[in-house]
Structures are given as structure tokens and as C-alpha cells.
Amino acid sequence: MAAKKNPLKLNKLQLRTLALSQVLANEPNLSVRNEESGAVTIRHLPHAHGDHVHVGPFVVSAKDASGFSNPAVWVALKRKGLVIDGDFGVTLSAEGLAYDTGLGEKFIAPSDH
């Protein structure tokens, strides 16, 4: 039987925020991996300038990245075990890194500047 899509029933904003956080977590100059737990701490979240946000090597619509500045999104992701409280930045759990958002590269485009 195929795995159920979105088994934690994340809403669209939570899915987008998690997907973008996964991109940041895979950028070695923007994140720190805990080899023991598999968790990754993102050093800082990007902020919008104009109508877009730079997420690692990609450009994303500011609307699609609005979850970065929404505390309720982080509370929900933490409650579902995808984000861990950390002293510095945002920490995605191993489960958060592995969660299939179904978004893949849907709204991410390479930066032209």
C-alpha cells in the first residue's frame, strides 16, 4: 500500500514553510547538522525584500514564504514533531527533514541575482 500523502494533515502554509525550511537545511553554509540526532539547525531565516525571498540558491515569492514570520506555523510544526526547540535558529527534527511535503521544486526558481 502506498504511503498516505500528508499524514500529519499540515495545512498549505505549514507545508510551504516546511518545504522551504528543508531547502535551507540542505545548504551547508546556512545550517548545522547534528549527526547524532539527524536534526538540522537553520542559522537564520531569510526575510522578504520586495516581492520575493532568497531561500538558499532559490528565489521564492514573499507570499509563499510568509510562514517564516508566522509564530503559529512554528507552533504547529513543533506540536507535530517536525521542529525542535533550539537555542539558536530553527531546528528541524529528522522527521521534519524527511517529511514529504509533496511540493518538491514546485514554487522554487533559481535566483538571477
> How buried is 21 (Cβ within 10 angstroms: 0-12 exposed, 13-18 middle, 19+ buried)?
buried
> Residue range 61-81: average pLDDT?
94
106 pLDDT tier (thresholds 50, 70, 90)? low
2 pLDDT tier (thresholds 50, 70, 90)? low
- Asked whether the predicted pLDDT for residue 112 surpasses 70, the reply is no
Provide the whole-model pTM.
Answer: 0.88
CATH number for 12-100 (one of 1.10.10, 1.20.120, 3.90.25, 2.60.40): it is 1.10.10
Q: Are 38 and 109 in contact (CB under 8 A)?
A: no
- Mean pLDDT is highest, among 26-40, 43-57, 79-93, for 26-40
SS3 95: helix
pLDDT at 89: 76
Selected residue with higher pLDDT from 55 and 88: 55
